Amino acid sequence: MKSIKAYLPNVLLTFLLVFALLGAELLAFVQAAVLHPAVFRQITKQEKLDEKAFSALSDTFVSRSHSTGIPAEVFLDALSPELLGECIDLRTEAFFAYLHGSDSEAPQPDLTAMQDSIRTFFENYADENGYEKDAAFEEKVTAVTEEYAGIVETAADPFRFGTLRRNGWLDTGRKYLRYLTPAMIGCITAALLLMVLLIVCNRKQKPLLAYWYGLASLISGILLLLPCAYLKATDFFAGFALKEPQTYAAVVGLLRLVTDKALLLGIITAVIGAALLIAFAVIPKPKATA
């Protein structure tokens, strides 16, 4: 009966420790491996989002040229994958600045060359066809310039930060983001407190700590590892239906990267737990005292 009374608190504390460890890991992981601009820049480079955005714009402008009569080269000759890559990076920086409290407007990409190319095309067209460059002419140039600048800016926003902000999701995220660090600290504190309580419960049989700590670490690692392994094994994210190729590459690439990192974290946690259990099995144990 005495051993059962000692066993039950250990089980309860270990059970709670599993979720405290899991919570601390997940919250720290979100801050370090998800909500960090370096992760998005890595995806931009890894998935060649600048080239995909340029290719998508090329298809769009060629398609629109049939109805507008404006050759795609008017726009494409003033653009480049490098410029679109800079636009994507600007969007990423503005996103994280806004997420962390900045209310300043997002920096706009430099589309001066494209604007000049559009004006040159219309002026040459007007000269060749005898059209007057009046207010109506200026209005037309301005309308086309704004329309196509919007198309470029949308193509250069593969992570759809603009959509998230317009729909108010960024405001919601910014509201709850400030609770992320306190929640992580709370989980870490809870885990440390539970570990101390386990020390108290096993003060006469300290080798048992390796068993309980190892068990908690192993289970929390498996709880993180299993869903990530399933997502990776089934290539779950490949089934996402996203129209723009650069958006598909950005979203799916980001989710796959996060899954890989979470899988690695789960493996490391489970291995640490297994190592502690092995250590408990091989280290000599003193006989329990009354």
Whether residue 290 is predicted with pLDDT greater than 80 in this model: the reply is no
Residue ranges of alpha helices (H) inside the chain are: 2-29, 37-46, 49-68, 73-76, 81-99, 112-129, 135-155, 161-166, 169-177, 180-201, 208-234, 245-282
**CB-based burial, 185-206: b 16+ in 10 Å, e otherwise:** eebbebbeebbebbeebbeeee
Whether residue 123 is predicted with pLDDT greater than 70 in this model: the reply is yes
Side-chain-side CA neighbours of 180 within 13 Å: the count stands at: 18
pLDDT digits (tens, 9 = 90+) for 171-225: 888 888 889 999 999 999 999 999 999 999 888 888 889 999 999 999 999 999 9
Contact call for residues 215 and 14 (beta carbons, < 8 A) = yes
3-state SS class at 34: helix
Q: What residue type is 68 in one-letter code?
A: T
Whether residue 71 is predicted with pLDDT greater than 70 in this model: the reply is yes
Q: Which residue has the tokens 């603009």?
A: 162
pLDDT digits (tens, 9 = 90+) for 30-65: 988 888 899 999 999 999 999 999 999 999 999 999
Overall pTM surpassing 0.95 (yes/no): no
Q: What is each CA distance from 113 to 110, 149, 154, 289, in whole angstroms?
A: 8, 11, 18, 84
Percentage of the chain surpassing pLDDT 90? Answer: 66
3-state SS class at 112: helix
pLDDT given for residue 133 in this prediction: 87
